[in-house]
Amino acid sequence: MNHTIAILGFNHHDITMKVLNRVMDKNPNCKVLFFDNGSIPPYKDLIDSSIEYVRKPENVYVNPAWNEIFELCNTKYVSLLNNDCLPLRDNYFESVIKDMEDNDLSISSCKTVDIKTLSRAHIFFFGLWDKLLSRFNLNPITKAKRQGWLMTINLEHYKQCDYKIPHDLKVWYGDDWIADQLYRNGFKGATYRNALAIHVKATSSGSKHIKDVIAKDGDIVKKYQIDFENCVHTNKRLRWFR
């Protein structure tokens, strides 16, 4: 596959390694890029040598890291995956890229469920649920929220847009910027409601400093006139029928 799974990691080593190892195990034919966003200790000695490893000495926040990832990737597709999010379907990336190719989609995501910790029981339970859902063809919802912690993007299409997320947006609204740029330029996207990922909520955004940065993002984003109506947010909880 002409595809890179780009994992953005910052600390939380236990959760991150669970996500990374499962992604590697379930996607042996995909290129994996691990962007170490100033973690202490660094991940360099923890990850497999087959993974492309890039490290920043200090945390540059989420959106600037994504901008660097766009430059580092030379594949047609890139999946932006946070270190606290785990797609459960064995062939998730393969299946969504095929559907994106077949239906001329430029951005996609799937349904997620928030949990507080990542355990084997969570992976087993929600994995079983996803196996039941996988009996059906992917069922896309148009005009639905892309989860910022898991997006697959046609990078060739996206780089035809104003693809660099503004430098003063640090943590939030990067996913809205990406989708808005694609939609403004006539590209299409979808969220698959019968594919499931689990997300360990607030592993990286719970500190007071990050909350202050997010609040500032909320003030700054107003000047960019993102069409939020065209980037409808769905409830983050599981809602299979809308």
Q: For the chain, which residues make up each domain, given as ranges? A: 3-230
Q: Which residues pair with 9 in a beta bridge?
A: 36
* DSSP bridge partners of 115: 200
- The set of residues, in sequence order, having a beta carbon less than 8 Å from that of 145 and lying 6+ positions away, is 109, 191, 231, 232, 233, 234
| Domain 3-230, classified CATH 3.40.50.1820, yes or no | no
Amino acid 202: pLDDT = 59
Tokens of 225: 């006139």
Residue 234: predicted pLDDT: 44
Q: Can you name the residues that pair with 80 across neighbouring β-strands? A: 6, 151
**What is the per-residue pLDDT across 135-174, written as a single tens digit (0 to 9) for each?**
666 777 665 556 678 999 999 999 999 999 999 999 999 9
Which of 118, 190, 123, 196 has the alpha carbon at shortest distance from 153?
190
Q: Which residues lie below 8 Å from residue 109, measured CB to CB, with a gap of 6+? A: 144, 145, 146, 147, 150, 151, 152, 191, 192
* Residue 225: predicted pLDDT: 87
The answer to whether residues 77 and 152 touch, using CB atoms and an 8 Å cutoff, is yes
Residue 196 contacts residue 126 (beta carbons within 8 Å): yes
CA distance 131 to 196: 9
Q: Cis (ω within 30 of 0) for the bond into 140? A: no
Positions of the chain with pLDDT lower than 70, given as ranges: 129-130, 135-137, 141-147, 202-206, 229-242
